[in-house]
């Protein structure tokens, strides 16, 4: 994906309002699979780092990167209806450049990405994955961002939520396969075991569908990674507001097939982007520089 001018970026943000806040998925399945075309990245190759790329990937020449494009500003479908835009695609482009590879971003349902990595369908998963010890059993991660989970509710009439304990007796809309879905389900058990009303947890195939559930009143509480929740609220035209403070700050990780030799070159490429300023430029472009890190690592899960 080529770099956007400021005006084009603004246009994408406006389109993302509809994509993030209003769009739903008919029948619970994507009708199409938008993706970028295979493109030569613009960041200059680092020959030493490029030499670390396993021959199997090098001979293929193109990194196939999977992202669930319903999570603006990290990844979403751009105004042309097929390009996957956002922080993760921009970073994928820059990483591919350092590694001397082309790249292609494929839109995939979140819960299918890790299985797709394991089966060899994708080379990288860059979709706001929280690096967890459980996921590290299946894939390797290179950490690249720091995010927590935030709550959002309807600005008018929404419940006050400061912690997960405030979920008791309320309904929650979450995306399938996320840490938020796990947290909501665990809180339901905690509420019931303490004699309080349980949590009605509605799990949706993507974040857009979860957002629609909140806006339509089918669920009272939304939860998403902190940069995404802030973006949802910002672009909701006053429909939503944040509630409480983020919890469980943890690293995002670039997901990589377990033990396939790509973790070290990806780590080294990311360090190069941090060193030359490209990394911070990408985060700043999308307004999420507060989550920047300067010490990426392989498999850096905190829980």
Q: What is the arrangement of strands in the sheet containing 75-77, beginning at the earlier edge strand? A: 70-71, 75-77, 84-85
pLDDT tens for each residue of 284-298: 999 899 899 999 999
pLDDT tens for each residue of 229-269: 999 998 899 999 999 989 999 999 999 999 999 999 999 99
pLDDT tens for each residue of 20-63: 333 332 223 333 455 554 454 556 899 999 999 999 999 999 99
What pLDDT does 287 receive? 85
What pLDDT does 90 receive? 97
Distances from the Cα of 242 to the Cα of 19, 39, 71, 185, 255, angstroms: 19, 37, 16, 21, 29
Domain ranges of the chain: 6-147+250-291, 149-248
CA distance linking residue 199 with residue 189, whole number of Å: 8
What is the bridge-based pairing of β-strands 75-77 and 70-71?
Answer: antiparallel
Q: Which burial class, exposed, middle or buried, applies to 160 when counting CB atoms under 10 A from its CB (0-12, 13-18, 19+)? A: exposed
Task: Tell whether the model's pLDDT for residue 1 goes beyond 70.
Answer: no
What pLDDT does 5 receive? 25
Using a cut of 0.85, tell me whether the model's pTM lies above it: no
Task: Tell whether the model's pLDDT for residue 15 goes beyond 90.
Answer: no
pLDDT tens for each residue of 128-163: 999 999 999 999 999 999 999 999 999 999 999 999
Query: Which CATH fold would you assign to the domain 149-248?
Result: D-Maltodextrin-Binding Protein; domain 2 (3.40.190)
What pLDDT does 34 receive? 52
Distances from the Cα of 107 to the Cα of 89, 127, 144, 206, 282, angstroms: 11, 10, 20, 12, 20
Q: Is 21 left (phi over 0), alpha (psi -120 to 50) or beta?
A: alpha
CA distance linking residue 220 with residue 229, whole number of Å: 15
What is the bridge-based pairing of β-strands 102-107 and 39-40?
Answer: antiparallel
Closest by CA to 71, choosing from 283, 228, 286, is: 228
Q: What percent of the chain has pLDDT over 90?
A: 82
CATH code: domain 6-147+250-291 is 3.40.190.10
CA distance linking residue 103 with residue 157, whole number of Å: 45
State the chain's mean pLDDT as an integer. Answer: 88
What pLDDT does 235 receive? 87
What is the bridge-based pairing of β-strands 139-154 and 221-225?
Answer: antiparallel
Task: Tell whether the model's pLDDT for residue 181 goes beyond 80.
Answer: yes
Task: Tell whether the model's pLDDT for residue 80 goes beyond 60.
Answer: yes
What pLDDT does 117 receive? 98
Confidence category of residue 86, pLDDT binned at 50, 70, 90? very high
Residue 170 backbone phi and psi in degrees, to 5: -115, 170
Least confident range of 7-11, 190-194, 262-266: 7-11
What pLDDT does 42 receive? 58
Residues near 188 by beta carbon (within 8 Å), at least 6 away in sequence: 167, 198, 199, 200, 201
CA distance linking residue 143 with residue 127, whole number of Å: 12
Name the one residue in this structure whose structure tokens are 């894939």.
Answer: 139
């Amino acid at each position: 994906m080529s770099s956007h001018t400021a005006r084009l970026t603004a246009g994408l943000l406006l389109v993302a309002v509809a994509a993030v806040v209003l769009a739903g998925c008919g029948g619970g399945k994507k009708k199409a699979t938008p993706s970028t075309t295979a493109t030569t990245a613009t960041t200059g190759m680092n020959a030493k780092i490029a030499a670390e790329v396993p021959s199997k990937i090098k001979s293929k020449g193109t990194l196939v990167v999977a992202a669930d494009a319903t999570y603006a500003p990290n990844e979403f479908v751009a105004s042309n209806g097929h390009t996957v835009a956002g922080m993760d695609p921009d970073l994928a482009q820059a990483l591919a450049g350092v590694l001397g590879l082309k790249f292609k971003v494929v839109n995939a349902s979140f819960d299918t990405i890790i299985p797709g990595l394991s089966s060899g369908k994708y080379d990288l998963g860059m979709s706001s994955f929280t690096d967890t010890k459980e996921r590290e059993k299946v894939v390797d991660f290179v950490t690249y961002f720091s995010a927590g989970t935030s709550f959002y509710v309807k600005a008018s009439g929404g419940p006050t939520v400061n912690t997960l304990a405030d979920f008791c007796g309320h309904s929650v809309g979450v995306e399938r396969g996320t840490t938020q879905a796990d947290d909501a389900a665990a809180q339901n058990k905690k509420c019931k075991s303490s004699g309080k009303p349980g949590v009605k947890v509605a799990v949706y195939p993507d974040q857009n569908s979860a957002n629609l559930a909140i806006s339509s009143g089918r669920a009272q509480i939304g939860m998403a990674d902190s940069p995404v929740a802030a973006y949802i609220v910002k672009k909701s035209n006053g429909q939503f507001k944040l509630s409480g403070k983020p919890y469980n700050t943890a690293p995002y990780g670039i997901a990589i097939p377990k033990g396939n030799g790509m973790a070290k070159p990806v780590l080294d490429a990311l360090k190069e982007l941090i060193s030359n300023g490209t990394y911070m430029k990408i985060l700043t472009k999308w307004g999420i520089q507060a989550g920047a890190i300067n010490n990426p690592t392989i498999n850096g899960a905190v829980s």
